[in-house]
Structure 1
Amino acid sequence: MNLAYELPWYRDFINNSDLVFCDGFGVLLGARMLGYEVSSTHRMTCPDYIENLGLACEQNNVSLFLLAGKPGVVEKAITQLTAAAPNLQVQGHHGYFEKTGAENERVIQTINEFSPGILFVGFGMPLQEQWILNNIERINARVFLPLGACLDFYTGTVYRGPEWMTNRGLEWLTRLVTEPHRLWERYVIGNPLFFYRIFKEQLRKSK
């Protein structure tokens, strides 16, 4: 939400999407503070539903291409997904490649040869959204699904924290402790900034 506030192109990306879902407690809390009727049932976190997605793709003959993570993460995710959905049509490629130039073209060619029904893109925000915008017209996929670090969590490559914390909106604290150098700005600065902006919007609406 902070990115959407600060980057007009990113805000347009969200507003022009066919489907937007909430994967964080902060957004739920902010929405409640602004008077919207939402509950925890509206929260969808990809690591929790990715196997159901794989099963649905298998049952409906929809192919899935995973473009995310460090080398080795996609292969582990595919192993786990096909254990749950043995007939799933799935391929993948790691996300650590040059996003322009010859290497990018080779990745796009690999995707197009597979021609997936769903392309899962997990580079982190806002890089994944920018890559989709830059390449969407040249990629043979029906659905583009940007989902950040989902595969890292799904495969256990990155620790999400105990379930009692993730179910109570404290996953951010675990991530901050495990990756402080990378995520301190997002949470130490970003969390108060988000609620400051919610407070400003409350004042604006009250007037």
Structure 2
Amino acid sequence: MVLSNTLFEEIRIFGTKFHKITVCDLLNSIVEYAKQDRKTVIGNVNTRGMNFAYDLPWYRDFINRSELVFCDGFGVLLGAKMLGYSVKSSHRMTCPDYIESLVLLCEQHNLSLYLLAGKPGVVDKAMAQMKAIAPNLRVAGHHGHFAKTGPENDAVIADINRFQPDVFYVGFGMPLQERWIVDNFDRIDARVFLPLGACLDFYTGTVYRGPQWMTDRGLEWLSRLLVEPGRLWRRYIVGNPLFFYRIFKQRIQQRFKALKR
């Protein structure tokens, strides 16, 4: 992976970076990177991702070595503000909000898109929705429920390489998708790698994301928790307070260093 060389302001939380960008910045960057004859990773962070980066050195390295990292969580923006950074709600974006804009740009610039995510059937539904708004889009895909090593993994990679995507969406959820990209990066013939979690599940309506008034106000986590409490309670009930405890800890350390100067 190529080390970051962008002009966007870099923000650091727990030694893990993300960039101060808008949706427009992100989409334009994806298009420009997809036109280059090299591999690029565009990562993203939310509170869960920041907790992984805090605990897992390889994950932190994955994010920090990504060319561009966008913020996909209001909690991270709040944490950045608490640490003294100037950020706005426009510096947070989540994939279901911009996926169709990305699809239209891919069609406009003749960029191919490969989707690797979801249960069987989700990718097919997503591609049908995409083709409905972008008939000339070059798109292919495969579900994400396959063995991530061995012959089945080899067959999926061969399918990706036959298509040679300009933009490669990977959605297994954190940190599995990032680990899979690290393990298979050199074998895959794609230009832009986009680990985007459950975006296609939300885009196709397979998983309920929550009402827009909640998602627009940083309460998507609460809506998801109410829908899937058994699966997500640890992520939010434990993970969110842990993230902010670590923010307070970093803030105290920063103040202590400032007093010693």
TM-score (norm 1): 0.99
SS in structure 1 at match of 2:116: strand
Residue of structure 2 equivalent to 1:171: 220
Does structure 1 residue 99 correspond to structure 2 residue 157?
no
Counterparts of 1:47 and 1:117 in 2: how far apart (Å)? 20
Residue of structure 1 equivalent to 2:84: 35
Shift of 1:39: 0.3
Counterparts of 1:142 and 1:9 in 2: how far apart (Å)? 22
Residue of structure 2 equivalent to 1:111: 160
Shift of 1:73: 0.4
Residue of structure 1 equivalent to 2:24: none
Does structure 1 residue 151 correspond to structure 2 residue 194?
no
Greater percentage in strand: 2
Counterparts of 1:85 and 1:29 in 2: how far apart (Å)? 36
Counting matched residue pairs gives 207
| Counterpart residue type for residue 83 of structure 1 | A
Runs of 4+ in 1 over 6 A off after TM superposition: none
| Counterpart residue type for residue 112 of structure 1 | N
Does structure 1 residue 19 correspond to structure 2 residue 92?
no
Structure 1, residues 104-133: CA drift from partner, whole Å, max 9, x if none? 000000000001001100000000000000
Residue of structure 2 equivalent to 1:77: 126
Counterparts of 2:150 and 2:119 in 1: how far apart (Å)? 20
Shift of 1:182: 1.3
What are the ranges of 5 or more consecutive residues in structure 2 without an aligned counterpart?
1-49, 257-261
Counterparts of 1:83 and 1:136 in 2: how far apart (Å)? 31
Identity of aligned pairs, percent?
72
SS in structure 1 at match of 2:114: strand
Counterparts of 2:201 and 2:249 in 1: how far apart (Å)? 35
Counterparts of 2:146 and 2:220 in 1: how far apart (Å)? 28
SS in structure 2 at match of 1:91: strand
Counterparts of 2:98 and 2:131 in 1: how far apart (Å)? 15
Does structure 1 residue 137 correspond to structure 2 residue 206?
no
Counterparts of 1:114 and 1:131 in 2: how far apart (Å)? 19
Root-mean-square deviation (CA, aligned residues, Å) is 0.6
> Among 77, 94, 113, which residue is 1:45 paired with?
94
Shift of 1:82: 1.0
Shift of 1:27: 0.5
| Counterpart residue type for residue 109 of structure 2 | N
Residue of structure 1 equivalent to 2:174: 125
Counterparts of 1:7 and 1:128 in 2: how far apart (Å)? 14
Shift of 1:179: 1.2
| Counterpart residue type for residue 7 of structure 1 | L
Residue of structure 1 equivalent to 2:11: none
Shift of 1:79: 0.7
What are the ranges of 5 or more consecutive residues in structure 1 without an aligned counterpart?
none
| Counterpart residue type for residue 4 of structure 1 | A
Structure 1, residues 11-37: CA drift from partner, whole Å, max 9, x if none? 000000001001100001000111101
Counterparts of 1:174 and 1:203 in 2: how far apart (Å)? 32
SS in structure 1 at match of 2:68: coil
